[in-house]
Amino acid sequence: MKFEEYQYTRPQMDTLKSDFATLLQDFQQAASLEVANTAFEKIYALRQEFSTMYNICYIRHSINTKDEFYEAENNFFDQNSPTITDLSNQFYKLLLKTPYRNELEQKWGKQLFVIAELSQKSFKPTILEDLKTENKLSSDYSKIKAGAKIEFEGKEYNLSSIIPMETAENRTTRQAASLAKWAFFEENAPKIEEIFHKQVQVRHQIAQKLGYQNFVELGYARMQRSDYDAKMVANFRKQIQEQIVPLASKLYQRQAKRIGVDKLKFYDENFSFASGNPKPKGSPSWIVNHAKTMYADLSPETKDFFDFMNDNNLMDLENKNGKATGGYCTFIDQHKAPYIFSNFNGTSGDIDVLTHEAGHAFQVYSSRDIGLSEYNWPTYEACEIHSMSMEFFTWPWMHLFFEEDVDKYKFAHLSSAVCFLPYGVAVDEFQHVVYENPTMSIAERNQAWRTIEQKYLPHRDYDGHSFLEKGTFWQRQSHIFASPFYYIDYTLAQICAFQFWKKDQENHAAAWNDYLRLCKVGGSQSFLDLVNLAKLKSPFEDGCVASVVGAVEQWLDKVDDSVF
């Protein structure tokens, strides 16, 4: 069935709540394992039905945020998703106490019970209204960005379509396009800062209602982190500062030399080569056709997966007015179908986002028959291993998209992965500071960002731009608003993806088998158990960051980037 044929019906909340309550009672009072299993399966069917309608709505709303019908439905889910969280939490409470726990744990594994325990720590019915407020604030932020109208050189752009102008070969054009984009953020800063200020307050309030000192520990519980804590993450950030920041600074110096500028300014950062950044050599449909070839060649499993996505219209890739920004992959439970959303704009980012989101989609496609919605995906940092590693596993086919610029693309791709790490940990440290100090003023919050930015991104030069000098760059980062504490996951996964990159160069078959095994188990294990299963080193392990950085630096040093 094609995506446009998927039926959407708004869930009837009264009926759903009544049916759920009956099934909870059946599960609690079950006189045998068989009766408990039947109630268990029916509870999952109800949750999957709600999740399916939510995701169909979410996708259609993000494809066209101007569609009034799906705007209203999105508001409905903002208001009613916390109710499902409440019902699921009641189920988890019973699951942890059931006399059939041993049998269920043998069948489904311990990770379901770990998730249940963490969910108990992150929800009580008393926070229901606060969650609705939190959801609405996230939607308000998304709507501001989706509605961006940036006037530049007589044309109107949105936040995706302006990017090619920001990476133009002409430095004056780059600068002017960046200034136009940041003028949009400056104009909307009072609204954006107010939204985030309210989010910090409501998240702090939720944390206190749940018995936490502040939102940090709750944020970790929400992210279902069971085998590492904030201290381990702080130590990881320290490793990035010591091992990666010097290499990133060296790469920025090489970039300045390549593009012929004395000093790299903020509007130069995404322009990598004087001859122009590598770009895909064809249209979006041409890209998809080549991706089809690539995934058919990579493995039988990836061929089946990509044919399924393509044949059923489970991708919306092109940038359009009114479309939400960014890229994502989600999963439509009842159809067992991943969905890839992105905003192609003619840059190399089109290939990055396609391979990245295809990594997510391939994982959930590989693990879609496990039978538990909790296991569709692992925790986020493990999810990002699949996506970031897929970007590297597809390197042998990059010539299909970039032709004569393939070496330039690979150098840019690996360099940007290194340079991303300091920014990724800066976003994480910023969130820790903000939620540990919830009474900070908006100005103090911006100053905190600027201080952290100077620590991890010492090369960054705002060229006297008064708005950015105040510490406002973070306001463009959607994850800070929608998914608190998510961002560190990308950096942990990047270190794991570098390990796959290294292994793939040494022995492709072994590396791919490890990756495939990782994808098939979905979210049935914790992060560090999954890392172990994939035969990777934990990013928290002393020396792990240094060991992969050495291999990456060696590869980059061998490239004569002056020829690009």
Instruction: Give the architecture (CATH level 2) of 134-276+420-482.
Output: Orthogonal Bundle (1.10)
- Does residue 295 contact residue 303 with C-beta atoms inside 8 Å? yes
The angle at the Cα of 6, spanning 366 to 327, to the nearest 5 degrees, equals 60
Residue-by-residue DSSP string for 161-210: TTHHHHT-SSHHHHHHHHHHHHHHHHHHHHHHHHHHHHHHHHHHHHHHHT
Report pLDDT digits (tens) over 86-98: 999 999 999 999 9
Q: What are the strands, taking DSSP E only, across 291-386?
A: 315-318, 328-332, 337-344
pLDDT at position 326, please?
A: 87
Between helix 230-239 and helix 544-558 the angle, nearest 10°, is: 30
Report pLDDT digits (tens) over 55-78: 999 999 999 999 999 999 999 999
Cα–Cα distances in angstroms (integers) from residue 248 to residues 233, 266, 332, 415, in the given order = 20, 15, 39, 8
Measure the CA–CA gap between 335 and 387, rounded to whole angstroms.
Answer: 22
CB under 8 Å to 546, separation ≥6 — which residues?
Answer: 239, 243
Lookup: tokens for 308: 């399924």
- Does residue 374 contact residue 380 with C-beta atoms inside 8 Å? no
- Does residue 362 contact residue 305 with C-beta atoms inside 8 Å? yes
For 284-415+488-563, CATH gives 1.10.1370.30
Measure the CA–CA gap between 536 and 534, rounded to whole angstroms.
Answer: 5
CB under 8 Å to 315, separation ≥6 — which residues?
Answer: 288, 309, 339, 340, 341, 342
Measure the CA–CA gap between 405 and 395, rounded to whole angstroms.
Answer: 13
Contacts within 8 Å (CB) and 24+ apart, 512-515? 512/299, 512/393, 515/386, 515/389, 515/393
The torsion angles phi and psi of 354, rounded to 5 degrees, stand at: -65, -50
The domains of the chain are located at: 3-125, 134-276+420-482, 284-415+488-563
Measure the CA–CA gap between 184 and 191, rounded to whole angstroms.
Answer: 12
Measure the CA–CA gap between 520 and 99, rounded to whole angstroms.
Answer: 30
pLDDT at position 325, please?
A: 87
Query: What pTM, to 2 d.p., does this model score?
Result: 0.91
Measure the CA–CA gap between 548 and 557, rounded to whole angstroms.
Answer: 14
* CA proximity to 39, closest of 95, 1, 108, 116: 95
Q: In sequence order, what are the beta bridge partners of 328? A: 341
The torsion angles phi and psi of 12, rounded to 5 degrees, stand at: -85, 105
**In the block, residue with structure tokens 């500028």:** 261
The torsion angles phi and psi of 540, rounded to 5 degrees, stand at: -80, -15
Cα–Cα distances in angstroms (integers) from residue 272 to residues 85, 279, 397, 564, in the given order = 45, 12, 21, 9
**How many CA atoms does the CB half-sphere of 457 hold within 13 Å?**
26
Q: Is 486 exposed, middle or buried (0-12, 13-18, 19+ CB in 10 A)?
A: buried
The torsion angles phi and psi of 301, rounded to 5 degrees, stand at: -65, -45
**In the block, residue with structure tokens 């307050």:** 201
Cα–Cα distances in angstroms (integers) from residue 405 to residues 553, 554, 563, in the given order = 21, 21, 11
pLDDT at position 281, please?
A: 97
Helix (H), strand (E) at residue 324: none
pLDDT at position 532, please?
A: 98
Lookup: tokens for 166: 């920001």
Q: Do domains 134-276+420-482 and 284-415+488-563 have the same CATH topology?
A: yes
Cα–Cα distances in angstroms (integers) from residue 461 to residues 106, 269, 464, 542, in the given order = 56, 10, 8, 32
Report pLDDT digits (tens) over 192-222: 999 999 999 999 999 999 999 999 999 999 9
Measure the CA–CA gap between 426 and 415, rounded to whole angstroms.
Answer: 18
- Other Cβ atoms less than 10 A from the Cβ of 52: the count is 21
Q: For residue 450, how far is the Cα from the chain centroid?
A: 24
- Does residue 342 contact residue 63 with C-beta atoms inside 8 Å? no
| Residues in the chain with pLDDT values less than 50 | none
- Does residue 59 contact residue 316 with C-beta atoms inside 8 Å? yes
- Does residue 388 contact residue 356 with C-beta atoms inside 8 Å? yes
- Does residue 540 contact residue 236 with C-beta atoms inside 8 Å? yes
CB under 8 Å to 129, separation ≥6 — which residues?
Answer: none
Q: In sequence order, what are the beta bridge partners of 156? A: 151
Lookup: tokens for 511: 């590396």
Pairing of strands 315-318, 337-344: parallel
pLDDT at position 191, please?
A: 97
